[in-house]
Chain A
């Protein structure tokens, strides 16, 4: 029986220095998937690498061997010298634990910022690579597809993704609630605190249309402007900018408010009352709180944003519980499928044996009765096929059901003995070479039967 193993490290287990190495390795061109043919214990493999985590998902027959192989790959890929003990940073999840971990990662429950959507895209990329290198087959194909649908379920059935938990996220979300699409909006940055920089970066990443920087020291303003591809405006004149910009992020070190009630009020008419959104990250505050009283002007200071975040965190805790419930459900479904896989070879060889017997007997009968017309031959084919199908139906259902149990091996064994599957399979092998013992052929067989029956009925 093969095992699913997930081995890796992430922001939860590895310190910054190691993660920095990950980030470097993240940009490498070489994909460790090409090493798969050299790993004797590993059957299938998917490799996920982001700046905050690197994970190998693989299947193997021998747990110890597979883990040893993959650890070696990890070491070489990340480029850690042998002297560094990585074992303490690495987590290894086996079977259902691995499935659970993968589902958690895909649904962004294991991320640094819970609910951020990037990780799913990265996982999809990882899967695409694995498909390209042909390192994902029956089990991992199914598992990855399942993880995508789990992530989708979590996203649609909980609002884990819609609650922002960092200041810049919260600011962008609020801007979305005010402006809708923020892509054609413009941002004015007053002052150049670190937090404001973060927020500005986030806005830029969300695709705001134009950015302007105003700072007391022009040098710093230009530095920032170069980084954000922004324009600069002199600090005494930034109030004029209020006529055109939509979002203002301010973080000056001023002791007095730099944006006063009258400053904004007098400019609203010229703005034709288009909404104006102040994000005031500075302490003491840059924007007079009374500005919030003006129509179509919204002022959020750092405490307000923190309030939004706290609110979201609470919400997110509840949502995370719901999400985990969804994940647990999906794990059970996947487990059933995995167990069902155990019965597949037995079922397939049972069907094959029956089919071979049928073909043999048909051949004999037809050679003895050459006078049969095509129609009669067809009828006999249908008859024999349906006898087999009906006869095997109950045992197959039984096996599929028992496959969910832990004692499935006993049942499989028993069935194989009962139908004498192992020996006869060998004896008849060469006659029907095209039917390989793969889980797929069971399904193909079914489809064949169906089409056969349909054509016969005509």
Chain B
């Protein structure tokens, strides 16, 4: 159901990409909102059903992530009024939803040790951080497109529709700056929790390594932005790279590699 709503919201936004109609945007936004509500209800029901957050399979966690992502966008949209962003965000949400239903849902044994406040903080902050990074990723794509148009002096059809470079950049900056502390907090709680449960904060789990790599990428980006004043094209590329690393961490580590995170695949 929610996937359908996202899909139609996406179609709306894609049409909006080509035709500048205020109404079209409002409809698409509402459809996405309805989708997010349905999705939220479905997730809640699962939680109640199984007694824990629906994160035990890669499928569930991707779907959860798509939900967090869409909600973050919807909230940001109210604050920023950057309508065209929807055309980039909603397809991404659909990709997450579709891939979540395509991926195998092999059930993993439940482990009592995962039911703890630490895990919730760990997962929630990381999910939010990733949603922010996903937004930064969309903005990065927008930035690169627009930058290309202006630099090459060859205006494609999206030129008119995309906002100014500075605006994209400043919003991406905002997303990054709110995402990074969340990610840091998420990782720290993860380590702290690991220290409590496994008596060692670091166990060379592939997912741990990959998340650290991702964290370093973002740390570099944040540092360069704040200290050196990096912005624009390079920053956009780096945020795209960072998000790819995030996805890799998320999917590949949970699916292909083994470690204690794959026991609870939802955890980052």
Contact = CB atoms under 8 A, between A and B. Distances in A.
B228 A177 contact: no
B164 A273 contact: no
Contacts of B163: 180
B229 interface: yes
B251 to A, nearest CB: 32
23 contacts: A159-B20, A159-B160, A177-B146, A178-B150, A178-B164, A178-B166, A179-B165, A180-B164, A180-B166, A272-B229, A272-B231, A273-B228, A273-B230, A273-B232, A275-B232, A292-B151, A295-B234, A296-B232, A296-B233, A300-B153, A308-B153, A308-B155, A311-B155
A303 B66 CA distance: 46
A2 interface: no
B151 to A, nearest CB: 6
A271 B160 CA distance: 28
Interface string B120-159: 0000000000000000000000000010001101010001
B167 interface: yes
B239 to A, nearest CB: 15
Contact of B150 (A174, A269, A307): A174
Contacts of B155: 308, 311
A157 to B, nearest CB: 9
Given A178-B164, A178-B165, A304-B153, 10 more contacts: A159-B20, A177-B150, A177-B164, A178-B166, A179-B164, A180-B165, A269-B229, A272-B229, A273-B228, A298-B150
A274 B150 contact: no
A438 interface: no
Given A177-B146, A275-B166, A162 B160 contact: yes
Contacts, number: 54
Contact of A295 (B20, B150, B159, B233): B233
Interface residues of B, number: 20
Given A177-B159, A177-B165, A275-B166, A298 B151 contact: yes
B241 to A, nearest CB: 16
B228 A296 contact: no
Interface in A363-390: none
B82 to A, nearest CB: 11
Interface in A245-283: 269, 271-275
- The 4 lowest CB-CB distance pairs between A and B, nearest first, are A272-B229, A180-B164, A180-B167, A296-B232
Contacts of A304: 153
Interface string B165-188: 111000000000000000000000
A420 B150 CA distance: 73
A275 B165 contact: yes
Contacts of A179: 164-166
Contacts of A295: 232-234
Nearest to A315: B160
B152 to A, nearest CB: 9
Nearest to B155: A311
B162 to A, nearest CB: 8
Interface string B230-246: 11111000000000000
A325 interface: no
Contact of A307 (B153, B160, B165, B166): B153
B139 to A, nearest CB: 14
Contacts of B160: 159, 162
A176 interface: yes
B231 A296 contact: yes
A283 to B, nearest CB: 17
